[in-house]
Structure 1
């Protein structure tokens, strides 16, 4: 399967195979490895199915050079998508800082957030191939060493350790919600617990589907900046 997907960027191949691995292992446990080809087809056929489901083009023929998804970068919408993400994140950051004036800032936050998402929508509907086009922008590629750190360096080890704490952050970012539900059981059960479950699910699936970053990054910015506002609410109360 990896050989059949070799024309795709290595990071995208790793994501596709990571998604498929658990399903293939489950089938092997339940029905035996000898039944895998009968149920999934040969490895090349299953790889083609994964490729199609993720929105990637068919592999190039022997006479065609590897395209590396250049067709997704011919209209400039990836720049708009990145701009939309920055707009939404900046709006969320400002909203988090002003969380004490929740109702006053909410309409502006929703408006700018929707504008950012609308600008990003043309690339998001293209699936993973569209997100990959954004990742290929020079300004984003310059951040790659920090997003996928090299563990052989001290900086890489520190960053890798920080990234390993992501599950803890998924729970930590529910703390601002707890401020509004901590005084009664109803708030804890019907507000905090669902928020924690949603936070964990979105965090987990954002590793698989990078389109969720257009939700996760602004949400993280809002929650991180809201800690200051929530602390102010605590002193005020």
Structure 2
């Protein structure tokens, strides 16, 4: 595929992964791979414009209803779409509906931009992931098929062993650390045809195994701060993104 590598605008569509959790900034906001990517693209192309419509907790149906038409109307050079993973992590999910909605999103977005970017999302290594892995891989098969039909680029984060390393995941075990987001930004940067900055797939140094006591303290902290609230939201039908506006709603010049 012939790449431009001189794109003038980017719109990011999705959920917490694209919003940037858990790449936390000093002011309490999140940065994340999309912001990092936009900054690099802006440094490469004067007048570069950027919008990030992502909101944490969104299911693929909400992304289609709230973000896709908005992104398509902006007609940017590049659109990134990452969605559907939150659906696969629910106790019950209709994967046929997820695939249909993802197809609808791609069919609307692909004609409205020069390059659509899809992703096979990373998965943290661990026993919990094994329960959801078949659903994730079904989603990724759909993504591959849609990309082939619509000329989209697929960034295979799932196939990069280093992004399964637990050290690249925050204490909530759902979101990447700052280093994880940096690697994702590099992966998309390269997929768009820009000169590589480094090897984003490079493994981390060998890990020092934590003691049994340290692991139990970490498990208890995770359960109290993240697992219990997550279960509570599932039981009550609430989302962490309820009432939250898009991160960067307008396609405007990137300045920081």
TM-score, with length taken from structure 2:
0.22
Which is higher, the Rg of structure 1 or of structure 2? 1
More RCO (CA 8 Å, sep 6+): 2
TM-score, with length taken from structure 1:
0.24
Structure (1/2) with the larger strand percentage:
2
